[in-house]
Amino acid sequence: MSETLSNIVRDNDRVSPAASLHVEVIADLVCPFCYIGKRRFDDALKAVQGPRQVSWYPYQLNPDIPAAGLPFDVYLTMRFGSPANVDPVLEYLNGEGEELGIEFRFDKIRHVPNTLIVHQLMQLAETLGKNQSAIAEDLLSAFFEQGRNIGEKDVLIDIAGAHGIGAQEVLKAVDSEQIKQLVLTREAQVRSSGLAGVPGFLINRRLLVAGAQETEIIVNAFDRAMFGEDTDQLPSPLLH
């Protein structure tokens, strides 16, 4: 594991001693593999009996996308090329999602946003001590199952409101240059580590599970990080 990635939570004094679990989830909220990975991660957490803590790190799949985002069809063409390349990917995601209770509705998605302000909302949630995983679940569902544009402030206000975050707090956060720079700095730490795709799950500052791995792989990584051998090797290769 690179020194930079191992350091991104070094100053986090909320981590408990041995036999506890702390996971930094590295993800983007318009990444379908992150939705799949989160569901498998949630299932893996059910196997953890001791204390556990989960927080989220920002990562933009498309940092150069225009601030206003792109139409979904334009985005797919830019990312995958012809429909012949797109269709197998969407079919695979639909099948994987169905097994996990995710109803991907790519037919409803009209717009792919620039997700910087989405990560600014997630940063606000961390600052306020809110459940970031629950908010991430709602953001992923809103985008992939409901076709909502989570890059719109009104949508973020609606989702955040369900978690006790007021509209003015959201507007202040997404318009804050300070929070924006904090998000970009945290993302830059991840990128400089060499992580080239998401999701990633950094476990107890020791192990990184890269990609939307099967639940049993994540559980095994939990065991290794909490009780197992002292190793910095990745349990799995990057998927994408």
- The residue ranges of every structural domain in the chain are 3-226
Of 67, 66, 72, nearest to 30 (Cα)? 72
Rounded-to-10 torsion of CA 154, 186, 30, 149: 10
Tens digit of each residue's pLDDT (9 = 90 or more) over 68-80: 999 999 999 998 8
What is the model's pLDDT at position 194? 86
Architecture of domain 3-226: 3-Layer(aba) Sandwich (3.40)
pTM of the model: 0.88
What is the model's pLDDT at position 229? 59
**Token digits for 234?**
């990745």
- Residues in the chain with pLDDT < 70? 1-19, 229-240
Tens digit of each residue's pLDDT (9 = 90 or more) over 90-113: 999 999 999 999 999 999 999 999
Residue 36 · residue 102 · CB < 8 Å: yes
